[in-house]
């Protein structure tokens, strides 16, 4: 659906000192998926998303959407191509002198859609994003979540193939963020729309994305299925993002110190994936093996590809019996990580 090849963007604000915002970035994004791009401030992610619809022109590279090379289009061709690429913004970018209905209708006016068809489409979108009854309200009369729903409806007005979301929930409170993310999931499922979502918040990636790319210094340093990236982060920046969801390093340090207090047995961390998270594994171990199992700490979270989590336990018993327990756990597809004593 979307193929990005060696995309680069260099800014030269004073003609001398250049800034490499995006550096040789390549990605392939599948039709109908929600693809997340995450990075800290300055990673180049917002510049990257603006290159996809040429709000910024690339210094080098190609962006091919549904077989069309966006980077090679002339001005009039680009104007038409942009009708198939919707975009929503962090701060909504609404027209404050227009009502909800007129904001949503604006791109249809520009496209020359007749008034009757325009109003029919607007009414359809108002229902889709849950704004029925607020058609005649102005942006100043709306909550943050309602403003973003207007932004989403406006972005969908021309039936785009792709929806670009630039930090679409960063200005919203947690509850409103969840409702907007669920709306994006519903739109993705109902319309089969390809969504590219830029964020610096890992819980946003966890909640709705199928795959993710991690950006740092203008480059993609890691990418893959969300569940795989959460389970096996390879780079330091990815590990920091995963810690946002799975707990802080101070807690893990405390657990390692706790492990040193046990003079017998072994402390292990169990990694659960998918349906295994719902199985009564600890209960089975206590019944089938002559060991005592004490739960020290645990956390389970959910992604679009399934649940995963970690559990710290202390097992006490004979050495051979503990080894049998670890072999049994491994056979159930649960990963076992032994916690070293200092």
pLDDT tens digits for range 197-246: 999 988 899 889 999 999 999 999 999 999 888 878 899 999 888 887 76
pLDDT of the residue at 122: 96
pLDDT of the residue at 342: 46
Q: What is the distance between the terminal CA atoms of the chain, rounded to a whole angstrom?
A: 51
pLDDT of the residue at 260: 63
pLDDT of the residue at 12: 85
Euclidean distance between CA atoms 198 and 164, whole angstroms:
8
Strand 266-273 relative to strand 306-316, pairing = antiparallel
pLDDT tens digits for range 17-58: 889 999 999 999 999 999 999 999 999 999 999 999 999 999
Euclidean distance between CA atoms 148 and 137, whole angstroms:
14
pLDDT of the residue at 285: 86
Euclidean distance between CA atoms 294 and 277, whole angstroms:
17
Task: Domains for the chain: give ranges and CATH numbers.
Answer: 2-245 (3.40.50.300), 247-338 (3.30.70.260)
**What is the Cα gyration radius of the chain?**
24
CA angle 182, 185, 190 (to 5 degrees): 125
In the sheet with 19-29, reading across from the earlier edge strand, the strands are 19-29, 2-11, 60-65, 68-69
Rounded to 5 degrees, φ, ψ at 198 are -95, 135
- Cβ neighbors of 248 (< 8 A, separation 6 or more) are none
Residues of the chain with pLDDT under 70: 15, 246-260, 274-279, 305-307, 340-342
Which contiguous run of DSSP H or E holds residue 2? strand 2-11
pTM, two decimal places: 0.81
What residues pair up with 69 in beta bridges, in sequence order?
Answer: 64
Asked if residue 98 lies in contact with residue 106, where contact means CB atoms within 8 angstroms, the answer is yes
Which contiguous run of DSSP H or E holds residue 103? helix 100-110
């Amino acid at each position: 659906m979307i193929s990005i090849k060696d995309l680069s963007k260099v800014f030269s604000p004073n003609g001398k000192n250049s800034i490499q915002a995006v550096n040789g970035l390549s990605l392939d994004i599948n039709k109908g998926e929600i693809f997340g791009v995450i990075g800290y401030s300055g990673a180049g992610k917002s510049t990257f998303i603006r290159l996809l619809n040429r709000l910024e022109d690339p210094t080098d590279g190609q962006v091919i959407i549904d077989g069309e090379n966006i980077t090679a289009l002339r001005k009039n061709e680009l104007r038409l191509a942009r009708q198939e690429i919707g975009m929503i913004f962090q701060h909504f970018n609404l027209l404050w002198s227009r009502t909800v209905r007129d904001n949503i209708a604006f791109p249809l006016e520009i496209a020359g859609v007749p008034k009757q068809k325009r109003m029919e489409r607007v009414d359809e979108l108002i229902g889709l994003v849950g704004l029925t009854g607020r058609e005649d309200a102005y942006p100043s009369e709306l909550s943050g979540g309602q403003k973003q729903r207007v932004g989403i409806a406006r972005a969908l007005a021309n039936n785009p193939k792709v929806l670009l979301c630039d930090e679409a929930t960063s200005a919203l409170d947690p509850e409103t963020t969840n409702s907007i993310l669920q709306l994006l999931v519903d739109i993705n499922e109902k319309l089969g729309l390809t969504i590219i979502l830029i964020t610096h918040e890992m819980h946003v990636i966890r909640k709705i994305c199928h795959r993710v790319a991690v950006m740092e210094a203008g480059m993609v340093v890691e990418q893959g299925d969300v569940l795989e990236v959460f389970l096996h982060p390879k780079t330091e920046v990815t590990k920091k993002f995963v810690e946002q969801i799975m707990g802080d390093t101070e807690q893990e340090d405390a657990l390692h110190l706790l492990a040193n207090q046990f003079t017998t047995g072994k402390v292990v961390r169990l990694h659960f994936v998918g349906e295994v998270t719902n199985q009564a594994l600890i209960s089975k171990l206590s019944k089938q093996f002559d060991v005592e199992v004490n739960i020290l700490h645990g956390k389970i979270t959910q992604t679009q590809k399934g649940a995963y989590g970690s559990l710290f336990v202390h097992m006490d018993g004979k050495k051979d019996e503990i080894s049998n327990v670890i072999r049994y756990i491994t056979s159930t597809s649960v990963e076992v990580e032994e916690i070293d004593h200092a």
